[in-house]
Amino acid sequence: MARVVVDVMPKPEILDVQGQAVHRALVRLGISGISDVRQGKHFELEVDDTVDDETLHKVAGELLANPVIEDWVVTRV
Amino acid sequence: MTRVGVITFPGTLDDGDAARAVRRAGGEPVALWHADSDLQGVAAVIVPGGFSYGDYLRAGAIASMAPIMQSVIDAARVGMPVLGICNGFQILCEAGLLPGALLRNAGLHFVCRDQRLRIETTATPWTRDFSVGDEIVVPVKNIDGRYHADAATLQRLEAENRVVFRYAGGNPNGSLNDIAGVCSEDGRVVGLMPHPEHAIDELTGPSTDGLGLFRSLLGVLAAA
């Protein structure tokens, strides 16, 4: 068994209104020095040794992320 | 009587109104269940609104993998008319039957209001009874309604006249090009965020304009 992490983020050109709202809340908290926030998703998968990288990329690209609006990174940890 | 399927997923809300709209337009609604794969011989399918699977992961993502959707995808590929409304539109995009995706509304608010829409094409079975440029008023009610597609896809949709509905009198959610609904390459699969099935009766809706979509479909199927 191994742990695999998939991080999914909105593509750079996508207006991330949720990230913007988080950023505005930081400003209201009086925290300075943070110029931008983008919000994504973090998945942790428990994977047995028979699952190859190709399958993991398929899982990420076909279900965990929507390639129209999101980029993803698969990492074995 | 023409049989039109209406799918229910866990979390679907508007299947009752969609079935009622089909009946009001003169068709026979047929209840389809997400976990079945049998389309029961229907001539068209409506994927109604709601919050299928609680909108977990992304709106429409999990529903797009349901057994019934594989049957809908197969039938759509050979020309069966499909209409996705609101969450149904999101499901059809996630299933790859329609291009683009629906993002969180630009204002971050759940928007619920009566919305003017302009009919941009009548070359779909769902809009045939309208004229290009007609305006209809139907409710819009969603939080993930901001239509997005990459620049090349948008250009192609516009060039191929595949924007079916455009917001008029103000864009409620920041959708690119004021897009409220689009269709597939063959025009037979249509998705839109606003709710024509809620505008079929003066008593409960802002107009009866929505009935035009269901009457268009039944007219097209009767003539086929």
DSSP B169: S
The pLDDT score that the predictor gives to residue A1 is 83
Q: Which of B216, B147, B151 is nearest to B188 (CA)?
A: B216
Name the pairing type of β-strands B101-103 and A70-76. Answer: unpaired
pTM of the model: 0.96
**Which long-range contacts link A11-19 to residues 24+ away (Cβ below 8 Å)?**
A11/A69, A11/A70, A11/A71, A14/A69, A14/A70, A14/B103, A14/B148, A15/B103, A15/B106, A15/B174, A17/B103, A17/B104, A17/B105, A17/B106, A17/B107, A17/B108, A18/B104, A18/B108
Question: Which pair of structure tokens corresponds to residue A49?
Answer: 């040794």
Mean pLDDT of B55-76: 97
Taking CA atoms, what residue in B is nearest to A42?
A: B57
DSSP B12: B
Are B148 and A18 within 8 A, CB to CB?
A: no
Mean pLDDT of B145-156: 98
Is the confidence at residue B90, as pLDDT, over 90? yes
Instruction: For chain B, say whether A14 makes contact (Cβ under 8 Å).
Output: yes
Tell me the catalytic residues of B: 86, 195, 197
Chosen from A38, A69, A72 to mutate, greatest number of chain B CBs within 10 A: A69
Domains of chain B: 3-223 (3.40.50.880)
Q: Which of B53, B166, B94 is nearest to A68 (CA)?
A: B94
Residues 6+ apart with CB under 8 A from B137: B114, B115, B116, B117, B199, B206, B207, B209
User: Which chain A residues have a beta carbon less than 8 Å from that of B149?
Assistant: 68
Percent of chain B with pLDDT over 70: 100
Q: What is the residue-level pLDDT of chain A in tens, covering all 77 positions?
A: 899 999 999 999 999 999 999 999 999 999 989 999 999 999 999 999 999 999 999 999 999 999 999 999 999 99
Instruction: For chain A, say whether B105 makes contact (Cβ under 8 Å).
Output: yes
Residues 6+ apart with CB under 8 A from B55: B11, B87, B144
CATH of A2-76, one of 3.40.50.300, 1.10.10.60, 3.30.1280.10, 3.20.20.80: 3.30.1280.10
Q: Which of B185, B206, B41, B36 is nearest to B136 (CA)?
A: B206
Distance CA B203, CA B17 (A): 13
**Average pLDDT score, chain B:** 97
ipTM of the predicted structure?
0.90
Is the confidence at residue B56, as pLDDT, over 90? yes
Minimum distance, in Å, between the CA of residue B161 and any CA atom of chain A: 21
Q: Which of B144, B14, B145 is nearest to B83 (CA)?
A: B14
The pLDDT score that the predictor gives to residue B135 is 98
Is the confidence at residue B224, as pLDDT, over 90? no
Mean pLDDT of B7-17: 98
**Per residue in B91-142, pLDDT tens?**
999 999 999 999 999 999 999 999 999 999 999 999 999 999 999 999 999 9
